[in-house]
Structure 1
Amino acid sequence: ILLFGIVAYRSLPVSDLPNIDYPTIQVTAVLPGASPETMASSVALPLERQFSTIAGIDSMNSTNGLGYSNITVQFELSRNIDAAAQDVQASISKAAQQLPPNMPSPPSYQKVNPADQPVMYVAVSSPTLPLYQVYEYADTLMAQRISMVSGVAQVQVYGSKYAVRVQVNPDALAARGIGVDEVQAAIQRSNVNLPTGTLYGAKQAFTVQSNGQLFNAAAFKPLIVAYRNGNPVRLAELANVIDSVENDKSISWFMETQSIVLGIQRQPGTNTIEVVDGIRKLLPQFRSQIPPSVKMSILHDRSESIRESIADVKFTLLLTICLVVLVIFLFLRNISATAIPSFAVPLAIVGTFAAMYLLGYTIDNLSLMALTLSVGFVVDDAIVMLENIVRHMEMGEGRMEAALRGSREIGFTIISMTLSLVAVFIPVLFLGGIVGRLLHEFAVTISI
């Protein structure tokens, strides 16, 4: 038992709370420039109609703002969140034909789970480089490399990608008699990347490549929007074309500097501390690969609070064992008699780790609290049994005879007393709702 417990303890993942799947999924859709009313009628409504056909939905609500829609779908607690996510993805695909065609990207979804919250936030900023260049370093270099760390599920990049912003001058349009729709059509015609075709010869075939994509503001400025009086009217004459980001209304700030934030999520069942340590080892490598003007700072490290809380609970557990052993020695004044409960308590706790590993539990605040409370149960049984055996020895019986007769007399009593104490946690074991899921691991651990 001791060997299996030690091996299991080294393999158990460490977290602040038990791994619990909350069957809640959040869907996000973006349509730049659309009013909240447009987002509600053109984006949120078609998606909600498709989501309503999914079985097991408990509630559904949406929030619409300028250019975005957030739909939160709450499922019944008995519903598997992975299966629910697949149904949501299928519903998004079915509703794609009813959504506006000019959406920059299809709606995305994510599981809303406290256990899936990022374990670390890293801010990337630069006082000299533009924000879209900082985004490129964060997205292409850092996020992809961090996602390869063992235990990392995904890396979310909070920030806006590079985009060319065309700030149209209404006076210039009115002076030339050009509408905004003509400017939009000209930009769409000139910025395309379509297959051109293939030329077939007698002996050879050639694939014709014609790249019409424009990649920066300088390439957009010479675009011809229309002709007036036989002269071309270029985009630079009608608008201010600049290099910028897709959404310049939402910006993260760190130390009075615009920044890009990386949110790093761990895989379920992995050790949070080991994942964070693996990420921290990569940070010096990133500093040698990015320009000196780009700074990296850790905004939040979830493992710090986990380390502190786990260390406090471990100290409390060890202190409890030491105090119990000391009290037993003060009353019995017998080293051999004190050694029996002293070995029984650690053996019972270490053996519990093996059962926790088989059940897929984690070392967290609730499971360690259960072990701390169980110390009193184990010591109580050991003291009662030991006192009865010592009583028989004082009556002149041998050690073996005293042990057999003493344990036979009160063995059933100790078992019934222990079972009655465990029975107190049976209602917690079958408690429903989110609270029941949180305390399920606590009840099982203290019972074992």
Structure 2
Amino acid sequence: TCLRASQYKVVMEVDPRYTQDISALDKMFVINNDGKAIPLSYFSSWQPSNAPLSVNHQGLSAASTVSFNLPTGSSLSEASDAINRAMTQLGVPSSVRGSFAGTAQVFQDTMNSQVILILAAIATVYIVLGVLYESYVHPLTILSTLPSAGVGALLALELFGAPFSLIALIGIMLLIGIVKKNAIMMVDFALDAQRNGNLTPDEAIFQACLLRFRPIMMTTLAALFGALPLVISGGDGSELRQPLGITIVGVLVMSQLLTLYTTPVVYLFFDRLRLRFSRKKRTTVTE
């Protein structure tokens, strides 16, 4: 049906008595513009053919759902990329649109928004630490330990041959708060030693490394042994639990190895940077 250059889809229905035999279609008439009854067979023809029992629709368009299973050793991100490449290579016309649903859609939405989520988490952590330490600089010392989370997770997943799935991504997001504990213990002790113990930055961070080493090892080992059952357990649902456990173990091991060496260096760098800006500010005010 056409009305003012706009097209509308019209669904025609027939009386149930005309659906019993195909010959009954010869008895159907339509009214033309002159008001005359015209046999349907005058301007149309029909023949038997196969047709779907039902046609699903998404919005106003006919839609079809294609399901897929992940082969062993493949991740959801790899499957999504393969499907997108296949649609491009097939030359699907512009009138046909494809979109993901279910777990694939959740994964796509999460991947699209993960940068915003990570930046929001980092900004929140920086504000909280800045208020607690009354410093604009040393929260950056603690945030410098975050790259070890991503590196450790990716190396562990690659080592065990596990896919980078949505569960692994959730594990990395959760561990953003855990990997900072080593730096928090050292920086908190060093700042207190500088302000209340009258120690130099070098002496303060050195004492922090010596006295905080045992608590750091205890908390890391406790979290590490708590995650090992997720890695070694089998049975139903193990393919869902293992990427999370592998991510936790990789992040904890890598952060333990790196932060004990990098945190003192970063702490001294930012402290000297703070002193340099303070001296320039005092010189400007004096002049």
TM range (shorter): 0.5 to 0.7
Return the match for 1:444 from 218, 235, 246.
246
Partner amino acid, structure 1, of 2:82: V
Q: Which residue of 2 aligns with 1:306?
A: 107
Superposed CA RMSD in Å reads: 3.4
Matched, 1:269 2:74: yes
Contact persistence 2:149–2:175 (CA under 8 A):
no
Structure 1 Cα separation of the partners of residues 240 and 143 of structure 2? 31
Which protein has greater RCO, CA pairs closer than 8 Å, 6+ apart? 1
Change (3 A) 1:398 1:372: same
Partner amino acid, structure 1, of 2:79: T
Structure 2 Cα separation of the partners of residues 326 and 305 of structure 1? 30
Contact persistence 1:374–1:446 (CA under 8 A):
yes
Structure 1 Cα separation of the partners of residues 233 and 166 of structure 2? 19
Q: Which residue of 2 aligns with 1:324?
A: 125
Q: How many residues get paired?
A: 197
Change (3 A) 1:321 1:300: closer
1:332 CA drift (Å): 0.8
Structure 2 Cα separation of the partners of residues 392 and 413 of structure 1? 17
Contact persistence 1:329–1:335 (CA under 8 A):
yes
Structure 1 Cα separation of the partners of residues 248 and 169 of structure 2? 9
Matched, 1:412 2:214: yes
Change (3 A) 1:348 1:391: same
Partner amino acid, structure 1, of 2:224: V
Change (3 A) 1:264 1:352: closer
Q: Which residue of 2 aligns with 1:339?
A: 140
Matched, 1:372 2:173: yes
1:250 CA drift (Å): 6.3
Structure 2 Cα separation of the partners of residues 429 and 352 of structure 1? 13
Matched, 1:279 2:83: no
SS at match of 2:55: strand
SS at match of 1:424: helix
Change (3 A) 1:335 1:350: farther
1:327 CA drift (Å): 0.6
1:356 CA drift (Å): 2.3
Contact persistence 1:252–1:259 (CA under 8 A):
no
Change (3 A) 1:409 1:266: closer
Change (3 A) 1:261 1:313: closer
5+ residue gaps, structure 2: 1-46, 251-287
SS at match of 2:236: helix
SS at match of 1:361: coil
Question: Residue by residue, what CA displacement relative to the aligned partner does 1:130-185 show, whole Å, maximum 9, x if unpaired?
Answer: xxxxxxxxxxxxxxxxxxxxxxxxxxxxxxxxxxxxxxxxxxxxxxxxxxxxxxxx
Contact persistence 2:149–2:172 (CA under 8 A):
no
1:308 CA drift (Å): 0.7
Structure 2 Cα separation of the partners of residues 439 and 300 of structure 1? 24
Change (3 A) 1:428 1:351: closer
Question: Residue by residue, what CA displacement relative to the aligned partner does 1:283-306 show, whole Å, maximum 9, x if unpaired?
Answer: 5x3449xxxxxx745475564332
1:362 CA drift (Å): 2.9
5+ residue gaps, structure 1: 1-241, 289-294
Question: Residue by residue, what CA displacement relative to the aligned partner does 1:253-291 show, whole Å, maximum 9, x if unpaired?
Answer: 3559999876666765261332232133245x3449xxx
1:307 CA drift (Å): 1.1
Contact persistence 1:352–1:445 (CA under 8 A):
yes
Q: Which residue of 2 aligns with 1:424?
A: 226
Partner amino acid, structure 1, of 2:159: L
Change (3 A) 1:365 1:314: farther
1:314 CA drift (Å): 4.8
Q: Which runs of 4+ in 1 moved over 4 A?
A: 248-252, 254-268, 299-303
Structure 2 Cα separation of the partners of residues 258 and 405 of structure 1? 70
Structure 1 Cα separation of the partners of residues 200 and 67 of structure 2? 67
Structure 1 Cα separation of the partners of residues 127 and 193 of structure 2? 24
Matched, 1:397 2:199: yes
Structure 1 Cα separation of the partners of residues 63 and 215 of structure 2? 66
More helix by share: 2
SS at match of 1:253: coil
Return the match for 1:358 from 159, 174, 181.
159
Question: Residue by residue, what CA displacement relative to the aligned partner does 1:31-84 show, whole Å, maximum 9, x if unpaired?
Answer: xxxxxxxxxxxxxxxxxxxxxxxxxxxxxxxxxxxxxxxxxxxxxxxxxxxxxx
Change (3 A) 1:357 1:252: farther
Contact persistence 1:426–1:443 (CA under 8 A):
yes
Contact persistence 1:252–1:261 (CA under 8 A):
no
Structure 2 Cα separation of the partners of residues 340 and 252 of structure 1? 61
Structure 2 Cα separation of the partners of residues 410 and 262 of structure 1? 55
Contact persistence 2:190–2:205 (CA under 8 A):
yes
Change (3 A) 1:262 1:437: closer
Contact persistence 1:251–1:258 (CA under 8 A):
no
More strand by share: 1
Contact persistence 2:172–2:248 (CA under 8 A):
yes
Change (3 A) 1:403 1:432: same
Q: TM-score, normalised by structure 2?
A: 0.57
1:404 CA drift (Å): 1.8
1:413 CA drift (Å): 1.4
Q: TM-score, normalised by structure 1?
A: 0.38
